[in-house]
Amino acid sequence: MTKLLPRAKVRADLHRLLMRFGIDTRKKRLDRVVLEQVIFPELQRDTRMHSILFVGCAWYTLHYPWVFRDKDFRTMEIDPDAACFGADKHLVGSCESLGTLLSRGELDCVILNGVFGFGLNTPDGLNRTLQGIHHALRAGGLLIFGWNDLPAHAPFPPFSVEGWHCFEPYRFPPLKGESHASDLINRHSFHFFLNRPSSIGK
Ligand SMILES: C[S@@+](CC[C@H](N)C(=O)[O-])C[C@H]1O[C@@H](n2cnc3c(N)ncnc32)[C@H](O)[C@@H]1O
């Protein structure tokens, strides 16, 4: 893992500063707009969604802990150098180890966006991640999975692994569907699932 380059640090510091004044200079793709302007407000509004884990942190997500300041918002990132973009409650490590790092049912929601195909690249790794999320989410908890259906970021069909049996598709009210393709250029889509009770998922 590489340390943050000075240029990346300046960009991150600038973003952190400007966001305090409500100035957002990021160039956002449609999927990010949907994430931040449709999905996040629904999670903020929903009182059942209190403990939220966001996997994968970067400079452009560093203000998310502030967005969810009224929630128990946690982050996880495999790159130790990106911990500076995470929440106070931040886990350094791979989402493949979630099953051993968190207690059973302690989360209400997991956001796994842009991690599949960006490091989480093997069927075994995705399966372990899904099993860990199944363990850490309460029954009925929400998993939001976002991925890019591009050769460079879809090393295998993500829904081909058996770990998905622990989850059932969920019609996410604001998007009126179980999935949402938000950006035709980078072929990004979000998929929504509820965690099945453990005895059914196993
Ligand atoms: C494309 S960025 C997406 C960041 C963020 N999740 C978002 O929605 O914008 C992918 C991030 O996932 C991290 N990542 C890749 N594999 C991971 C893994 N197995 N566990 C945790 N983080 C991982 C990478 O280090 C990188 O910071």
Region 3-30: mean pLDDT is: 83
Please give the pLDDT value at position 12. 84
**Nearest Cα residue to atom 13 of ligand 1:** 56
Ligand 1 pocket member 112 (CB < 6 A): no
Whether 200 shows a pLDDT value over 70: the answer reads no
Residue nearest to atom 19 of ligand 1 (CA): 94
**pLDDT surpasses 50 at 15:** yes
Q: Flag whether pLDDT at 2 surpasses 60.
A: no
Distances (CA, A) of 80 to 1, 83, 91, 126, 192: 8, 5, 9, 21, 28
119 alpha carbon – ligand 1 mean position (Å): 7
Judged against a pLDDT cut of 60, whether residue 69 lies above it is answered with yes
The topology (CATH level 3) of 32-201 is Rossmann fold (3.40.50)
Buried b (16+ CB within 10 A) or exposed e, 81-115: ebebbbbeebbeebbbebbeebeebebbbbbbbbb
- Please give the pLDDT value at position 201: 46
Query: What would the pLDDT profile of 177-186 be if each residue is shown by its tens digit?
Result: 999 998 788 9
Residues forming a β-bridge with 64: none
State the pLDDT at residue 173.
98
Segment holding 110, helix H or strand E:
strand 107-113
Q: What is the mean pLDDT of residues 41-62?
A: 97
Question: Tens of pLDDT along 91-144?
Answer: 999 999 999 999 999 999 999 999 999 999 999 999 999 999 999 999 999 999
In DSSP notation, 53-101 reads EEE---GGGTTHHHHTTTSEEEEEES-GGGGGGS-SEEEES-GGGHHHH
User: Which numbered atom of ligand 1 lies nearest the CA of 60?
Assistant: 9
The Cα-based distances of 136 to 14, 95, 116, 141, 176 in angstroms read: 35, 11, 19, 9, 26
Mutate to test the pocket of ligand 1, among 2, 100, 115 (most ligand atoms within 8 A of CB): 115
pLDDT of 83-92, one tens digit each?
999 999 999 9
Q: Is the CB of 114 under 6 A from ligand 1?
A: yes
What phi and psi, each to the nearest 5 degrees, are found at residue 117?
85, 0
pLDDT at 11 over 50: yes
Cβ proximity of 178 and 142 under 8 Å: no
Query: Count of H helices and E strands in the chain?
Result: 7, 8
